[in-house]
Chains A and B, each alone.
Chain A
């Protein structure tokens, strides 16, 4: 201790001559920093109500509630997060995990209330003065709390697949499937979009848990066509997937396939269990496609005797006769059908109703009849020359390929159409061309521009890989035939625009941009229709119709109380819709039976 220790403290006096450090107006002069995690904001237009913010909140601070003016719609639950500031800790995990980036934070931080109940508020709905704050916390671009990239599906290389009808897609390995399933946030937005309302988040969880048996049980609750839908479902659920906003949607379809791939057929049968005791009721189903067989499966499990009349030699409908083997191998389809027949469903093959057996007879012999005949007639453009014998319809050709009929592949050909059927026939014929001629010369012309193709993007990508020459925005005008009557190709005009303001078809052509695409064969793949001639004139007149299709109620029942109808023939083409319809019809028929029992 020295004299210095006595004097040194007095240096503090120098602060007398210093400017004060006090903030003059701390209430207004201190905005939060640019990254400040202040009060929440929510962009109502971007929010999809997936509730992931609620899931991650460790404080249970977030509730998902409906708000007026935001109806539920596909891909948007209509719910919006309400935050309890009696729970929040401003950690911003909700902002980080937000699938759409709608939830952010302002840099505002002052909020005083006497009434504590006012601290529950719905950002974006309850107007706050910080709603338009420019500064505040936003998610860092790199930071993803859920992985955005889909696990690539392993598939055959174009060179390896192109010469044969071997299935292209390998299916996920267990590790790959787990990784893909891990990406799911289990919000359940997809369920409403799936026509069959499959328990998608639950079966994806089964994949995560490796509990494939539970997965199979969940699949069969809503869909007996797991092999089929696991491969060729139109997977519109993936359009509603919350992960879509963050990156790729979850590969829901592939995960479904993965589940069914993991469980042996005998185990599947064991998991489904035996059908109920016979009820004595008889049901006739016309058409062994997805709709008919789904209903057959459901009804058979309830103990009803089901007979399915199928015009072709094998079951599956369009899934067999329309979808090429490289997308859906026949043995996979056979597995699904085997489970259905194992429930006691009797399928009568090569029985064409209307020809081999009359509708009236079905009406009198069975307690209920279901019509699920699909769309097996191809539409024609009816442009000049379209009646030439080398102008063919895609569905007819595909059917021939399936039945194994010998098809002389033309050396060059043109396909009209931009849907999946067009891709199917183009790729199938390309395979035949390669087998028969050693080279591929297939031109595909579509009305739509590439952005609006009806076909699945993957189909387009794979078609291009398989050397299909895809020309978009071409309107077919005539099939060109030379004087000797030989088909030379297809004449098209450039399509300037395809849709009107209401997004309805209204093609505008540029007649000056005319092309002739060379082809010994022209295949029309522009659309299909149902062949309802089996109904006969009398029944056709009796039935109520709705714009060309049999009129049905929400349960699939027609105006005739003994007849139900479902699937493509009443709803248009879509396998998962057909399955959903099949369920509805089965429930309806069964409840009618129950009512009949109750009365008698």
Chain B
């Protein structure tokens, strides 16, 4: 565990010494909760429509597939006209595109980022690697099935999928959201223990709280 995460005594600017325990003090350990539609069906529908038309993607290119997101952000493919844009921070994003393989080291950051995103939030897996390990099926350092660790709403086939395929995927995701079927965040909350156990089984140096949003 990193030094700065250890419980230790700290001397404040006023000269007073006090104890800090970063993992307990700086994070909220309350788990995620299932969000039930609090409104009437018609309002929920309106909300889903709104959500589907504002897909904000976390700008975290986790693997190779990220390179095909760049053309989408630029004039030729211009995803912005579809209500899709990229955001630099999880707090502003509602879609996490896992762009291919995930090393266990990145998985740890992905989990943190995902948990910091606001519900309702969605996950799209790009390419073979997220489905069944892809060409790294025998690698010691990459996960094989993304859905073991995060709830996945959609997969897009390819290695890697082209920008057009990504757009097709986003269009499908919109349909799912509008149909009220993109329930990944709730699924994560409902099966939190299961996901957490899976995550911990591959991240051997788990040095963060179980839930840290």
Contact = CB atoms under 8 A, between A and B. Distances in A.
On whether A and B touch (CB less than 8 Å), the answer reads yes
- Interface size band for A: 20 to 34
Interface string B160-189: 011111011101100010000100000000
Contacts of B27: none
Contacts of A485: none
Interface string A34-73: 0000010000000000000000001111000000000000
B54 interface: no
Interface string A78-113: 000000111111100000000000000000011111
B197 to A, nearest CB: 20
A150 B157 CA distance: 40
Contact of A109 (B76, B161, B171, B172): B161
A119 B158 CA distance: 10
B160 to A, nearest CB: 9
B37 interface: no
Contacts of A86: 128, 131-134
A30 interface: yes
Given A86-B133, A89-B128, A22 B75 contact: yes
B170 to A, nearest CB: 9
Contacts of A114: 153-155, 176, 181
A357 B133 CA distance: 73
Interface string B18-58: 00000000000000000000000000000000000000000
A13 to B, nearest CB: 16
A220 B161 CA distance: 53
Contact of B134 (A21, A87, A113): A87
Given A26-B163, A26-B167, A116 B135 contact: no
A6 interface: no
Contacts of B78: 22
Contacts of B147: 116
Interface in B49-83: 75-78, 81
A109 B154 contact: no
B159 A119 contact: no
B67 to A, nearest CB: 15
A88 B128 contact: yes
Contacts of A119: 131-132, 155, 157
B165 A59 contact: no
Contacts, number: 94
B192 interface: no
A112 B164 contact: no
A87 B133 contact: yes
B156 interface: yes
B137 interface: yes
A22 B76 contact: yes
Contacts of A1: none
Among B81, B138, B159, B172, chain A packs the most CB atoms within 10 A around the CB of: B159
A21 B164 contact: no
B contact face: mostly helix, strand, loop, or mixed:
mixed
A458 interface: no
Given A27-B171, A113-B154, A59 B162 contact: no
B165 A110 contact: yes
B101 to A, nearest CB: 11
B128 A109 contact: no
B155 A87 contact: no
A94 to B, nearest CB: 13
A88 B156 CA distance: 13
A239 to B, nearest CB: 37
B77 A84 contact: no
Given A88-B159, A90-B158, A109-B162, A27 B135 contact: no
Nearest to A120: B132
B137 A109 contact: no
A187 to B, nearest CB: 23
Contacts of B152: 116
A85 B165 CA distance: 15
Contact of A27 (B153, B155, B164): B164
A89 B65 CA distance: 12
B208 to A, nearest CB: 28
A22 B154 CA distance: 26
A82 to B, nearest CB: 13
B164 A30 contact: yes
A90 B138 CA distance: 18
Contact of B131 (A26, A27, A85): A85
Interface string B123-147: 0010010011111011000000101
Contacts of B128: 59, 61, 84-89
Contact of B154 (A21, A23, A61, A112): A112
A23 B135 contact: no
A273 interface: no
A88 B129 CA distance: 9
A87 B157 CA distance: 10
A280 interface: no
A112 B131 contact: no
A112 to B, nearest CB: 5
Given A88-B128, A89-B128, A26 B164 contact: yes
Nearest to B78: A22
Given A26-B167, A27-B164, A112-B155, 5 more contacts: A20-B75, A59-B135, A86-B131, A87-B131, A89-B159
7 contacts: A26-B167, A27-B167, A84-B128, A89-B134, A111-B156, A112-B169, A116-B131
Interface of B: 75-78, 81, 125, 128, 131-135, 137-138, 145, 147, 152-159, 161-165, 167-169, 171-172, 176, 181
Interface of A: 20-23, 26-27, 30, 39, 58-61, 84-90, 109-114, 116, 119
